[in-house]
Amino acid sequence: MMTKFYYTLFLLLAVQLSFAQLPPVFGEDYKDKISTSDMVKTYITPQKIIWQSDNTEQFIQNPSQLTTMGNGQVAVNDQDLFRFISTETHKPAILLDYGKEIHGGIKISMGIRPSKTPLKLRLRFGESVGEAMSDIGGEQNATNEHSLRDFIIEVPWLGTIEVGETGFRFLRVDVVEANENAPIKSIDAAFIYRDIPYLGSFESSDERLNKIWLTGAYTVHLNMQNYLWDGIKRDRLVWVGDLHPEVMTINTVFGENSIVPKSLDLARDQHPLPQWMNGISSYSMWWILIHKNWYDYHGDLDYLKEQETYMIALLDQLSTFIDKDNKEVLNGGRFLDWPTSEKPKAVHAGLQAMMVMTFEAGSQMMATLDNKKLEEKYQKTAKNLRKHQPEGNTTKQAAALMALANLVDAKKTNKDVLKQDGVQRMSTFYGYYILEAMAKAEDYDGALKVIRDYWGGMLDLGATTFWEDFDVLDVTNSGRIDTLAPPNKFDIHGDFGEYCYVGYRHSLCHGWASGPTPWLTQYVLGIHVMDGGNSIKVEPHLGDLKFAQGTFPTKFGVLTVNHVKDDNGTIKTIVEAPEGLKIIK
């Protein structure tokens, strides 16, 4: 086991030293990359063909050439190319699988054909097979919103075209016009991502947990584009609430990265007070809570000072939305997550808890900024807010926030609310806070089961990134996202969804769903960051795991921990810390 661990560290070091390395969820089969500033572009050959309209070789010939890696350069003497042949009655089509969800577009190269006019092809990108096979609109709600994923292009004679910028894994290509005879050299995905190493890692005796950790990391990595987005298909926006789980994942996997302050500053500058960020009062509170976490992990006092004026004005604005009974009365968009959006008692309970946590965070940051007067003021506000006890909430999401804010007993809440009905009535966004509340209740075994059942449930359906929403009740009699849905089964992507994620509009790569990644590192590896990143308290909780080991990026370098549980349940821990980092056991 130790040999395997150090071999993993060697690979991580190799990733760090390489100029542009694919994320580790990709294997050695993915190569041929070029650099474009701080982003890289890698061309990926289709991994397999899911479906084709013709298997007689009359309209589609040499399809295996598309899954054979080539050089991407057309030539006058290319032989045995993939070929589309169309007639008035048959316009051939093919469905390709690139193996992983990616962000980018498609590069198509065509050889010599009798007609020198451009070849018209219809492209349909999909995060699922069903989406790639769909038409815009209809009951399953495929869209071209935020990023085009269904459109017609023209491919030049003996030339190449590169088009598209969206999130996808699958691509359907259709010939548009009749009487075409088109030799295609390649249809490669142009994968665009940020060139950064995975400094954090997680490995345990449970391969399912290992895969979940890495999938969460990769989900956020894909969304680290020009700014930190919520999703790579849609919305491709800086939603501040979504940022919180994403930032915690970045802290855990990539360490201090400039995309976080860049995105936080964009949100601040786009929403001058009295505007709420994204029009939602809770998202302005998440902005403050993110800054607290960012300082806690990295200790950048100069950056915190840059926020002082806006932060104080925002906290003072929030304080005007507290009534005489210490109850929050926030205006604007009153929102936690979508499943609670039609439950006003849940929304109030969650917002009350967030107000408590926000003013506590504000008080602590004022202490860091040596502003004693405001430290005491905001601490008093938080104390007064605790005097109001929200009633009538029955949701796991709001209950989790109330436990984290110490408005309710965490252990009792875990037993009475969070553990009821397994992983039903969860959301991928607030699932993170449910896990946090379970950890506060010291129910680490229960939290591990939630991770395996809920996030693992997406993997069981073919996910390579985590989704905007997931309801375990939808799984019954549903097919996977990477196969054609049988006639007697539901399409897990197209047949379900509510609110903003109905049908194929549903994002299958959403950064707010990455919560298990920071959670597993913090509570299973036991890495608790303290003192602005100067100290780490190591307190592992292995549950039913035989071992857990991994790495964590700190301001001093990469920390390594290795925990092994013996037959008596005693955990032996080995820590290798970079110079300057204080370790507390």
Looking at residue 114, which CATH number applies to its domain? Answer: 2.60.120.260
**CA distance readout (Å), 327 to 203, 335, 397, 403:** 44, 16, 19, 17
Cβ atoms of 173 and 132 within 8 Å: the answer is: no
pLDDT higher than threshold 60 for residue 542: yes
> Within a domain: residue 554?
yes
Domain count of the chain?
2
- DSSP states along 175-232: E-SSS-EEEEEEEEEEEEEE------EEEES-HHHHHHHHHHHHHHHHTBSSSB-SBT
On the question of pLDDT at 432 being above 70, the answer is yes
> What is the model's pLDDT at position 38?
80
The token duo for 110 is 């065509």
Q: What is the pLDDT of residue 44?
A: 96
In angstroms, the CA 352 to CA 340 distance is: 14
Res. 72 pLDDT band, cuts 50 70 90: confident
Task: Examine residue 64 and state whether it is found in any structural domain, yes or no.
Answer: yes
CB 462 within 8 A of CB 492: no
Lowest mean pLDDT, pick from 60-64, 71-75, 274-278, 544-548: 71-75
Burial string for 107-145 (b: 16+ CB within 10 Å, else e) reads bbbbbebeeeeebebebbbbbbbbbbbbeeeeebbbbee
Supply the DSSP symbol for 409.
-
Percent of the chain with pLDDT over 90: 92
* Span 54-59, average pLDDT: 96
Q: Is 49 helix (H, G, I), strand (E, B) or coil?
A: strand
Predicted confidence (pLDDT) at residue 183 exceeds the cutoff of 50:
yes
Q: Among the three residues 133, 168, 194, which one is the final residue of a domain in this structure? A: 194
137, 169, 194: which is the final residue of a domain? 194
Name the residue among 307, 293, 428 with its Cα closest to residue 357.
293
Q: Which pLDDT score is estimated for 3?
A: 40
Residue 350 is assigned to a structural domain of this protein? no
Q: Per the domain annotation, does 189 fall within a domain?
A: yes
Q: How many Å apart are CA 237 and CA 567, to the nearest integer?
A: 49
Q: Examine residue 130 and state whether it is found in any structural domain, yes or no.
A: yes
Top pLDDT among 428 and 33 is at 428
Q: For residue 148, is it within any domain?
A: yes
Range of the domain at 538: 530-584
**40 located within any domain:** yes
Q: Are strands 181-194 and 201-204 parallel, antiparallel or unpaired?
A: unpaired
Q: Give me the pLDDT at residue 585, please.
A: 86
* pLDDT at residue 10, rounded to an integer: 36
pLDDT tens column, 315-343: 999 999 999 999 999 999 999 999 999 99
Q: Distances in Å between the alpha carbon of 526 and those of 131, 154, 439, 564?
A: 40, 54, 11, 13
- pLDDT tens, position by position, 219-266: 999 999 999 999 999 999 999 999 999 999 999 999 999 999 999 999
Q: Is the predicted pLDDT of residue 516 greater than 60, yes or no?
A: yes
pLDDT in tens, 7-47: 343 343 333 333 345 677 766 555 444 434 589 999 999 99
Please compute the mean of the pLDDT values over residues 196-205 and round it to a whole number: 98
Question: What does the mean pLDDT of the chain come to?
Answer: 94
Among 194, 229, 254, where does a domain finish?
Answer: 194
Is 233 within a domain?
no
